[in-house]
Amino acid sequence: MVADSQRISYVDNSEAVYWIDLKTGRSKKIAAQQTNAGVAAATRLVPDSKWLAYTIGTRPLVMAVSAYSVDQDKSFPITDGSRGDCPAFDRSGKYLYFFGSDAGPLLDWFLRRAPTCASRGTST
């Protein structure tokens, strides 16, 4: 995800969340899955790249939403550790939206796989 072309956020194969400062090349690990959650992390930068919203697995099939302040180098929990998904800032960067429950329909009941953020109208 690129916001103001100063930083890129991404999720690696282990579902850890990072951002890269494009001017300096510095990479910063923001968070990592607390468990093998079985669901993919998602990231979203505010338009000025000063905040990064992300989801991270807290237990199997459960995601929590947090926001990371680049200026403060600190993460802040947005949800209580359960049932948050697909964070997205509005265009002004003033409001953060997310799905508060992942109790909706499953794509594969036996694998307990939920639809991705992209299939719900937002992209990761």
What is the distance between the terminal CA atoms of the chain, rounded to a whole angstrom?
A: 7
Q: Do 98 and 87 contact (CB within 8 A), yes or no?
A: yes
pLDDT band at 121 (very low <50, low <70, confident <90, very high): very low
What pLDDT was estimated at residue 80?
79
Distance CA 58, CA 8 (A): 24
Domain residue limits, the chain: 7-120
pTM: 0.74
